Amino acid sequence: MEFGLGGGHDALVDDVRRFLGEHLTPELLARVRRGGTYHDWDFHRALVAKGWMAPGWPVELGGQGRPPLEVLAIAEELQRAGAPMLGLGTTMLVASVLRHLGTAAQKEAVVRPALAGEILIALGFSEPESGSDVAAAQTRAVRDGDEWVVNGQKMFTTNAHEADYAFLLARTDPTLPKHRGLTTFLVPLRQEGVEIRPITTLSGERTNITFYADARVPDALRIGEVNGGWEVMTVGLTYERTSAAGGDSIRLLEAMEDWAVGGTPHGRSADHDERVHEAFGRAATENEVSVLLSRRSAWLDSIGELPGVEGSMAKLFSSEAITRQSAQFIDLLGPEGIRTEEDRGAPARGEVEWAYRFAQGTTIYGGTSEIQRTIIAQRGLGLPRG
């Protein structure tokens, strides 16, 4: 048994940090935070140029052939620095699906430019009436010769305003049982039948509601079989499982530690405060656990096993941890803790106040905490289904 990541890991981490020092400027971070779009084309293309769009893919497919733990090491550093990665994440999820299920033409028309940083793909799963129950999607797609006509609405289509395609889950046969009548498409977003309206969120992250009114998608951009959408989704969700965890709360704790040693002019004096020490020690411990849980998934991946329940544990634990920590840190800061980053006197640069808002979303998107617990209970512990 070995917990060390090897000498190559340290060199890789140094490399990522150098890259971030050059490309993830304070101005860029401030722009992203203000605008709420967690995608930046310049930064995205710099990552592509470095080969870090798909570092785990084989070289002949445009990757670097890195093992899962190295891929995770890069992701950990990016997350910890607060880099805008949502566009890359959704695009790579779809690219992975296409790598396994796409036609040769789709790989050429979509995967190649995606890996080259030329196009972006958003996820269109959630709808006004369904989110957790993703298979309940009602958006309709009806065949019309070589094309399909799409009508309906998708909620929370993050980065649709930057993206070229939405990976859309649509109902193609309402007479079939819920999971059987679905088909997935890559719907071009820059067309007349698509309207994209911004949704502003608690953390300032921008997402979108997308309306489809007789929007058109060629059959060549259908992924998988007609009415085989659920199988495609199952493949897609498998690639969402090894993501970095704990980076946001590591950054949050660093901001708090800076505050505590920095003479806190209006806040409580933190130097000898046992409550502060306890909260910091607990947070550091929880962050170590988050990192270990996600590294376990990557390690399983590296020995050819599919992390399923393990990924749910990492997601559940890390998102619940930052939710607890951010609330507790506001309490430690006292009345000063609710000052936002716009306030020049905000303790810890307003990071804690922001994190408290941000954290709530982490327990919702990517499968809510309840959905993760159900996966762990049923598939991990073998408890009976309700």
Partner 1 sequence: MDLNPSFEQRQLVEAFSTLYRGESTTERVRAAEATGFDPGLWEALAGAGGVEMALPLRAGGSGASLLDLALVAEVHGRHLGSAPLVEAQVSARLLERLGGAAPVVADVAAGRQILTVALAPPGSGTARGVPAAMVADAVLVLDDRCVALVGLADARTPVHNLAALPLADVRLDADPLATFGGEEARRSFATALDEWMALTASALVGLGRRALELAVDYATTRQAFGAPIGSFQAVAHRLADAATALDGATLLSREAAWASEGDPARASDLAAMAFAFAAEAAQVAGEWSLHVHGGYGFMLEYDVQLYFRRAKGWAAVYSDPGRVYAGLGARALARRA
The residues that touch ligand FAD, with contacts defined as CB under 6 A, are 122-126, 131-132, 156-158, 201, 205, 207, 361, 364-365, 368, 370, 374
The CA-based dihedral angle spanning residues 151, 234, 309, 251, taken in that order and rounded to the nearest 10 degrees: -50
- Alpha carbon distance 346, 351 (integer Å): 9
Angle, CA 20 vertex, CA 15 and CA 22 arms, to 5°: 100
Nearest to 236 by CA among 130, 68, 93: 93
Residue 299 binding: pick among ligand FAD, partner 1, none (C-beta 5-8 Å cut-off by kind): partner 1
CB of 217 to ligand FAD, least distance (A): 17
Helices (H), 53-144: 68-81, 86-101, 104-106, 112-115
240 a catalytic residue = yes
Residue closer to partner 1 by CB (options 86, 352) is: 352
Q: 240, 278, 320, 353: which is the annotated catalytic residue?
A: 240
- Lookup: tokens for 116: 């080259």
Between vectors from CA 354 to CA 247 and to CA 162, what angle results, nearest 5°? 75
**Binding of residue 274 to partner 1 (CB under 8 A):** yes
Count, residues in the chain: 386
Closest chain position to ligand FAD (CB): 131
Dmax (CA) for the chain in angstroms is: 73
Choose the binding region for partner 1 from 111-119, 127-135, 165-173, 270-278 (rule: CB under 8 A).
Answer: 270-278
Please, which residue, 104 or 381, has the CB nearer to partner 1? 381
Q: How far is the CB of 328 from partner 1 (least distance, A)?
A: 12
How far is residue 181 from each of residues 77, 151, 172, 186, measured CA to CA in Å?
A: 41, 15, 6, 17
First to last CA, the chain: 38
Name the binder of 132 from ligand FAD, partner 1, none, CB < 5-8 A by kind.
Answer: ligand FAD
Least Cβ distance, residue 122 to ligand FAD (angstroms): 6
Shortest separation between residue 17's beta carbon and ligand FAD, angstroms = 28
Q: What are phi and psi of 382, to 5 degrees?
A: 75, 25
DSSP 180: T
- Choosing from 257, 324, 338, 364, the residue that interacts with partner 1 (CB under 8 A) is 257
**Hey, CA dihedral for 87, 90, 93, 99, is it positive or negative?**
negative
Closest distance of CB 283 from partner 1, Å: 8
Question: How many of the other CB atoms lie within 10 Å of CB of 4?
Answer: 7
Binding of partner 1 at residue 282 (CB under 8 A)?
yes
Residues contacting partner 1: total by CB under 8 A: 49
Q: Are 56 and 71 in contact (CB under 8 A)?
A: yes
User: Which residues have CB under 8 Å from 255's CB, separation 6+?
Assistant: 348, 349, 351, 352
Tokens of 354: 């922001």
**Cα separation, 366 vs 136, whole angstroms:** 16
Instruction: Note whether 354 binds partner 1 by CB under 8 A.
Output: no
User: Least distance in Å: CB of 67 to partner 1?
Assistant: 10
Per-residue interface string for the shown chain with partner 1, residues 299-318, x marking contact by CB under 8 A = x---x------x--x--xx-
Choice from 18, 178, 277, 349 touching partner 1 (CB under 8 A): 277
E strand map for 172-205: 182-188, 194-200
Closer residue to ligand FAD, CB minimum distance, 137 or 352: 137
Cβ at position 365, least distance to ligand FAD in Å: 4
- Please tell me whether residue 384 binds partner 1 under the rule CB under 8 A: yes
Binding status of residue 276 toward partner 1 by CB under 8 A: yes
**Interface with partner 1 by CB under 8 A: which residues?**
1-5, 69, 257-258, 260-261, 270-271, 274, 276-282, 284-286, 288-289, 292-293, 295-296, 299, 303, 310, 313, 316-317, 370, 372-374, 376-378, 380-386
Residues marked active site are found at 240
